C-alpha cells in the first residue's frame, strides 16, 4: 500500500520542518519574519489611505491612516517591557506612556496628538474641521514616524 509506505517519510519530513522552525525561533528569525509581515501590513494600509486620498476621499484616508498610527503605537508599547498595556488602550494613553518613557520626544508626541485629533474628526463626521491638505500632512507625518520606528 503506497499510503502506508509514504507515511514514515511524511512523518520524517514533518519532524524536520518542526526542528527547522524551532531552530529559527531560537535564533530569533521568526521574530524578524513577524516584523517584516507587520511592516508589509502597515505599508498596505498606508497604500489604501493614499488611494482613498487620491480619489478624493480624504476623510476616509484620515481614518485608515489613523488606524495605522494607533496600531504602531501599540506595537511600540509592546516592545517596551516598562510599559504594561491595558486591555484596550486608547491612542492618547499609549502616546503619553511612550513620551514619558522617552521613546520619542515632545514634538513627536504633539504630532501624534494632532494626527489622532484629525482621525477622530474624520471618524465622527466633523469634516468642516479639516481639509485635504491636513490629511496629506497627516499621512506624511505617519509615514515618517513609521520609517523612523519600524525601518
Report the pLDDT value the prediction gives residue 88, as an integer from 0 to 100: 87
- First CA to last CA across the chain, in angstroms? 53
In this prediction, the residues of the chain whose per-residue pLDDT falls under 50 are 1-2, 4
Residue range 69-100, pLDDT digits in tens? 999 999 999 998 889 988 889 999 999 999 99
From residue 61, alpha-carbon distances to 31, 38, 84, 122 in Å are 30, 20, 30, 9
Domains and CATH numbers, the chain: 43-150 (1.20.120)
Amino acid at each position: 500500500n503506497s499510503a502506508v509506505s509514504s507515511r514514515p517519510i511524511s512523518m520524517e519530513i514533518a519532524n524536520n520542518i518542526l526542528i527547522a522552525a524551532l531552530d529559527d525561533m531560537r535564533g530569533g528569525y521568526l521574530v524578524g519574519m513577524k516584523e517584516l509581515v507587520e511592516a508589509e501590513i502597515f505599508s498596505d494600509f498606508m497604500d489604501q489611505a493614499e488611494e482613498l486620498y487620491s480619489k478624493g476621499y480624504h476623510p476616509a484616508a484620515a481614518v485608515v491612516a489613523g488606524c495605522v498610527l494607533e496600531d504602531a503605537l501599540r506595537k511600540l508599547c509592546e516592545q517596551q517591557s516598562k510599559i504594561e498595556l491595558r486591555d484596550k488602550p486608547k491612542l492618547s494613553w499609549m502616546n503619553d506612556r511612550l513620551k514619558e518613557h522617552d521613546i520619542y520626544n515632545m514634538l513627536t508626541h504633539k504630532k501624534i496628538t494632532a494626527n489622532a485629533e484629525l482621525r477622530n474628526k474624520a471618524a465622527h463626521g466633523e469634516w468642516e474641521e479639516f481639509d485635504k491638505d491636513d490629511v496629506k500632512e497627516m499621512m506624511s507625518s505617519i509615514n515618517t514616524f513609521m520609517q523612523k520606528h519600524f525601518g
